[in-house]
Amino acid sequence: MRRARTLAFLAAVMLLAACTQAADTTTAPTTDTGPATTADTGTPTTADTGGATTTTAGTEPSGGGLLGEVQSRGSLLCGVNETVPGFGFLNADGTRSGFDIDYCRAVAAAVLGDPEAVEYVPLDAQQRFTALASGEIDVLIRNTTFTATRDGGEGATFLTTTFYDGQGMLVFTDSGITALEDLANTAICVLSGTTTELNLATRFADIPYTPLTFEDNGVLQPAFVSGQCDGWTSDKSQLAGVRSAFPADQGGPEALTILEETFSKEPLGPAVRDGDSQWAQVVDWVVNATILAEELGITSDNVDTFADTDNAEIRRLLGLEIESDDGTAVFDAGLGLEPGWAANVIASVGNYGEIFDRNVGPDTPLGLVRGVNDLWLNGGLLYSPPFR
């Protein structure tokens, strides 16, 4: 009798709970719209300092999207790496440098007018998509490979590729290993939660090996150096960074060799959260602007010298006034950015070629050549849609 009554009560409670569903759909409680501020690095985040040509203080937040949110916050939350020399690296003096870092600065320059208005959020490979989906960061620029499942299933939208990479294998020069097949029956070190891990399994499907998966390069490198694993696989650009920074007392860069074979496609680029196309377009066009600037010959040094140029595309890109029958006007692509944003970007970080050369080019310790990361005019893969 008593049990029956309890059951009846429970049933009533469940019915009540079910009824509230309809009411809840309209006022669905949202967990977060304001991103949590996490480990920042002490970077000054004042939006109105620096040599910006336009002021953003009076900028109307454009709509309710992330663009408006970033502008009213006054800083960009950028998810980055801090262990890969040349791409995203935390220097001994506390500053950050690298190819990806420069793109964070470029986005901040475009959106806020100040390349320094970035709060860097260091992430490891496994945290990155959760951090992006949960709103902890605005944009993920952390040598992240563009794949279908990541684009489709992780709540992320991938944008224009900034670096076309491929996977390689790092071995000790004196190990006698010259091809991937020589690594049979050995252990291979790899970062967990990466596409490299998946490619390794695919490429070594018929070669017996033991994968040793580590969370970050800080533990992986000692394991590799001590000979626990005979090979270290990652994107070739990352391996070049590791090789360039290999300590001299352990033999220096010459002690290491990156094997010839490239066994995957790793297009690296920025990613944003699904569902905000305006913000995605902004980040996309920042990348395109750096490529276009190189194509048009605009550099950080000469960006101020185009005031009198006749080239209409340069005038449109840099936000210079354009003569028309009804007087002069400034071209606005409708991205929700101040005119002249691209000039800010180029003045702050330079064009694609400058970013490449500064961080990973032939004159840096990494010494990478442009290869496929060259303009389409030079036989590479970089091709920006027209700016009109």
Partner 1 sequence: MIPNARVPFWRNQRVLRGVAQVVVAAAVLFLLYVLWFNVTNNMRARGVRTDFNFLDQPFGVRIAGSDLSPSAPVRSALLNGIRNTFALAIVGLPLLTILGVIVGVGRLSTNWLVAKISSAYVEILRNLPPLLVVIFAFQAVILRLPPARNPITPFGWFVISNLEFHVPGFRAGDNYRPFMMVMLVAVLLGAFLWWWRTRVHERTGTPHHRWLWSLGTVALVGAIAYLILDRPLTITLPHLEGRVVDGGYRGLGAFFAVVGALAFYTSSHVAEIVRGSILAVPKGQSEAASALALSGFQRLRFVVLPQAMRIALPPIINQYLNYVKNTSLAIAVGFAEVTLVAFQAIGNGQPAPQVVVLLMGSYLVFSLVISFLVNLYNRHLRIVTR
Minimum CB separation from partner 1 for residue 221, in Å? 11
Minimum CB separation from partner 1 for residue 246, in Å? 17
**Among the listed residues 30, 42, 328, 334, the single contact to partner 1 using CB under 8 A:** 30
Q: What's the token pair of residue 378?
A: 């030079």
Q: What's the token pair of residue 330?
A: 């400034």
Torsion angle (degrees, nearest 10) of CA 183, 189, 191, 196: 0
Determine if 7 is a binding residue for partner 1 (CB under 8 A).
no
**Among the listed residues 26, 27, 31, 328, the single contact to partner 1 using CB under 8 A:** 31
Please state the φ and ψ torsions of residue 79, each to the nearest 5 degrees: -80, 120
What's the CA angle centered on 120, arms 116 and 126, to 5 degrees?
A: 155
Contact map string, positions 227 to 246, toward partner 1, x by CB under 8 A? xxxx----------------
**Among the listed residues 181, 215, 304, 321, the single contact to partner 1 using CB under 8 A:** 215
Q: Is 88 helix (H, G, I), strand (E, B) or coil?
A: strand
**Among the listed residues 7, 10, 369, 381, the single contact to partner 1 using CB under 8 A:** 10
**Among the listed residues 106, 170, 200, 347, the single contact to partner 1 using CB under 8 A:** 200
Q: What DSSP line would sit under 152-209, residue for residue?
A: HHSSEEE-S-SEEE-EEEEEEGGG---SGGGGTTEEEEEETTSHHHHHHHHHTTTS-E
Determine if 44 is a binding residue for partner 1 (CB under 8 A).
no
**Among the listed residues 26, 27, 202, 324, the single contact to partner 1 using CB under 8 A:** 202
**Among the listed residues 22, 26, 57, 149, the single contact to partner 1 using CB under 8 A:** 149
DSSP 8-class letter at 256:
E
Contact map string, positions 166 to 185, toward partner 1, x by CB under 8 A? ---------x--------xx
Considering only the stretches 39-47, 92-100, 269-277, 352-360, report the one whose residues sit in contact with partner 1 under the rule CB under 8 A.
Answer: 269-277
Determine if 192 is a binding residue for partner 1 (CB under 8 A).
yes
Beta-sheet pairing, 118-122 with 76-80: parallel
Considering only the stretches 194-202, 292-300, 315-323, 363-371, report the one whose residues sit in contact with partner 1 under the rule CB under 8 A.
Answer: 194-202
- Which residue from 124, 314, 306, 130 is spatially nearest to 219, judged by alpha carbons? 124
Q: Which residues of 319-334 are buried (b: 16+ CB within 10 A; e: fewer)?
A: bbeeeeeeeeeebebe
Q: Which is nearer to partner 1, 14 or 381 (CB)?
A: 14
**Among the listed residues 7, 11, 24, 304, the single contact to partner 1 using CB under 8 A:** 24
Q: Is 284 helix (H, G, I), strand (E, B) or coil?
A: helix
Spatial distance between the Cα atoms of 47 and 57, rounded to a whole number of angstroms: 8
Q: Which is nearer to partner 1, 230 or 284 (CB)?
A: 230
Q: What's the token pair of residue 35?
A: 């991103």
Spatial distance between the Cα atoms of 237 and 301, rounded to a whole number of angstroms: 27
Determine if 201 is a binding residue for partner 1 (CB under 8 A).
yes
Q: Which is nearer to partner 1, 184 or 381 (CB)?
A: 184
Determine if 140 is a binding residue for partner 1 (CB under 8 A).
no
CA 118 to the chain's CA centroid:
13
Spatial distance between the Cα atoms of 127 and 38, rounded to a whole number of angstroms: 13
Minimum CB separation from partner 1 for residue 113, in Å? 30
Determine if 193 is a binding residue for partner 1 (CB under 8 A).
yes
Spatial distance between the Cα atoms of 373 and 266, rounded to a whole number of angstroms: 12
Considering only the stretches 110-118, 151-159, 316-324, 373-381, report the one whose residues sit in contact with partner 1 under the rule CB under 8 A.
Answer: 151-159
Determine if 207 is a binding residue for partner 1 (CB under 8 A).
no
**Residues at the contact surface with partner 1, assessed by CB under 8 A:** 5, 9-10, 13-14, 16-17, 20-21, 24, 28-31, 125-126, 129-130, 133, 147, 149-150, 152-155, 175, 184-187, 192-194, 197-198, 200-202, 205, 209-215, 219-220, 222-223, 226-230, 273-275
